[in-house]
Amino acid sequence: MDDVVREGLPQARSGEGAVGAASPTWAALAAARFSRRSPGDRWFVDETYVRVNGVWRYVYRAVDQYGQVIDVLVSARRDAGAARRFFQRALSTLKVTPNEIVTDAASVYPAVLDELIPSAWHHVERYANNPVEADHSQLKHRLRPMRGLRTDQTTQVIIAGHAFMQNLRRGHYELAIDTPPALRVAAAFAELAQAI
């Protein structure tokens, strides 16, 4: 299993066509990447839990002050290595450095943030992380009726896809900006179909 994960989606192995580089889904997401608005400079970072094949996994998520989901990462552990991977991934894909990062009181964040983003102010205060905590409920609401997640990789793909759709609905992409919010997703996919 030598799958390569790019932007949260696996590249198909030979013989597969579901989410491969030549599939319409992959092309639509690749085209949408260039129309994404730049995230804000204040990030709210937290982790939540999901059950994958009967085992609890951690999902690191970051949301900016405007409600845009910045990045997601599924990890088997909640340690400094996972937090470092999450921040390195978020910083490398967006090319944006935040000025303020709001987290919970997890002991791994100060050392990782001092290492990766020393100029950012690390804010830890009770109830300050409520925007990302409230955003977790949207993800949990979507995952609850599903029949279950079987692998970490499919979990990563589904959660990244949920973040993409959430950002699209909230208007964080320069797609279908003149349409009403109820019709924004359909209009955005119509624009993406023309771009491919």
Tokens 């983003």 belong to 117
Tell me what the pLDDT averaged over the chain comes to.
83
Q: Using pLDDT thresholds of 50, 70 and 90, give the confidence band for residue 28.
A: low
Chain segment 115-154, per-residue pLDDT in tens: 999 999 999 988 888 889 888 888 888 887 788 889 999 9
127 vs 112 pLDDT, higher one: 112
What pLDDT is stored for residue 82 in this prediction?
96
Give me the percent of the chain exceeding a pLDDT of 90.
Answer: 43
Mean pLDDT of 1-30: 48
The count of residues in the chain is 196
**Domains of the chain, CATH where assigned:** 38-195 (3.30.420.10)
| Residue of 132, 41, 36 lying closest to 93 (CA atoms) | 36
Q: Which pair of tokens denotes residue 156?
A: 């990563």
Q: Using pLDDT thresholds of 50, 70 and 90, give the confidence band for residue 2.
A: very low
What pTM value is reported for the model?
Answer: 0.80
Residues 6+ apart with CB under 8 A from 185: 165, 168, 169, 176
DSSP character string of 99-155:
SEEE--S-TTHHHHHHHH-TTSEEE--TTTTHHHHHHHHHHHHHHTTS--B--HHHH
